Amino acid sequence: MDADTGLPVVGMIGAGQLARMTHQAVIPLGMSLRVLAASADDGAARVAADVEVGDHTDLGALRSFAADCDVVTFDHEHVPQEHIAALIADGATVHPGPDALRYAQDKRAMREEIARLGLPSPRWTPISTEADLAEFGVPCVVKTTRGGYDGKGVFVIEDVSDAAELLASGVDLIAEELVRLRRELAVSIARTPSGSTVVYPVVETVQSGGICTEVIAPAPNASPALIERARHIATTIADAVGVTGVMTVELFETADGLLVNELAMRPHNSGHWTIEGAITSQFEQHVRAILDYPLGSVETTAPVTVMANVLGGDSPIPPDERLRRLMSHDPAAKVHLYGKAERPGRKIGHVTVRGDTIDNAFARARTAAAILRDGIDTTTKEAT
């Protein structure tokens, strides 16, 4: 507990944009996020008062960090399992715990658990040789079981020989069928250590090249049965694996129903819309959940909310001028910049637009993101 405020100290390992937005969310709760940053330049380290710089694979650094926290949580999924177990053995409160986190760290373990729960996945199998891959059948998707995110560690394989180098590398791999999908959806659930849950509205995530470009909340044209099914999947997984905090289930919608794509055991890009679009943002909700506080309302604040990611580009127009141009173009667009150095393709921020109709909000959000990236409205060109 903070001696002055009488409120708990929440620590987050990792200081990227999720930590940055979590710090923003805990300020109104009277708290200040304590962050373990890889570098003093990290997005959250630039804005938080209580920053320790250290390596998340260094148990000594983790122990020193955790000692001053009432609860420890994660900006990313890269902290080794054995280190988390060691912190818990020391007496630290860690959420999500290693059991739940395992399913976000290891895609094979996740697929096995989803199967055990009787929930649908794409057809999949572990592979270690070209013969395994040939037997499974190509074209297909090959994934490293660990370390993948944002399309990294995911490979579309047309021909068995395309996977030769990957197979020779010795990393653990699974093959998954190339799903004929209608679209991608996501559903986020928050669960407390006491077992309370709230489920956010199901959203549609628009992807391009393996990266989410826009999120539409709530998902348009989603039948009550589809929504109920998505909620059932999220609740079943959360209860079974003992999730604490926010978990997001990425889903494929196919002609035959929903398939589980990926799990994230933390606030997720598909939930950034909640900062403006829901009464309780996913970041505040995650903190409430890991503190075992009563969960917040997940009601929406507008008929439609659209979030568009801003990817780094190579614009000659300075960031300050791009920001001014967006503000001039759309005085109601909500900007979120992560304090990151810009590199082409790197997520450097997002924009959220609330509206009454999907088409209007989607076009505005996409245009806003383009102006922040390029300094001009490049969406008309893109659409052709």
Q: Which is nearer to a copy of itself, 109 or 335 (by Cβ)? A: 335
Please list every residue from 17 through 46 that binds a copy of itself, using CB under 8 A. Answer: 20-21, 23-24, 27-32, 41, 45-46
CB of 319 to a copy of itself, least distance (A): 4
Does the footprint of a copy of itself cover residue 272 (CB under 8 A)? Answer: no
For the chain, give the longest Cα–Cα distance. 64
CA distances (Å), origin 35, targets 19, 83, 104, 159, 377: 7, 17, 21, 44, 36
Does the footprint of a copy of itself cover residue 47 (CB under 8 A)? Answer: yes
> Nearest 10 degrees: CA dihedral of 85, 87, 93, 98?
-20
Does the footprint of a copy of itself cover residue 78 (CB under 8 A)? Answer: no
Facing residues of 56 across strands?
none
Member of 59, 324, 358, 378 binding a copy of itself (CB under 8 A): 324
CB of 318 to a copy of itself, least distance (A): 5
- Match 């996977």 to its residue by tokens: 163
Q: Which is nearer to a copy of itself, 73 or 144 (by Cβ)? A: 73
DSSP state of 278: B
Distance CA 66, CA 375 (A): 42
Distance CA 286, CA 295 (A): 9
Q: Which is nearer to a copy of itself, 179 or 302 (by Cβ)? A: 302
Please list every residue from 280 through 299 that binds a copy of itself, using CB under 8 A. Answer: 280, 288, 293-297, 299
Of the candidates 43, 41, 37, the residue with the CA atom closest to the CA atom of residue 62? 37
Distance CA 36, CA 45 (A): 8
Element (H, E) at 327: helix 319-329
CB of 9 to a copy of itself, least distance (A): 11
Q: Which is nearer to a copy of itself, 46 or 63 (by Cβ)? A: 46
Give the footprint of a copy of itself on this chain (CB under 8 A).
Answer: 1, 4-8, 20-21, 23-24, 27-32, 41, 45-49, 51, 275, 279-280, 288, 293-297, 299, 301-302, 318-320, 323-324, 327-328, 331-332, 334-341, 349, 354
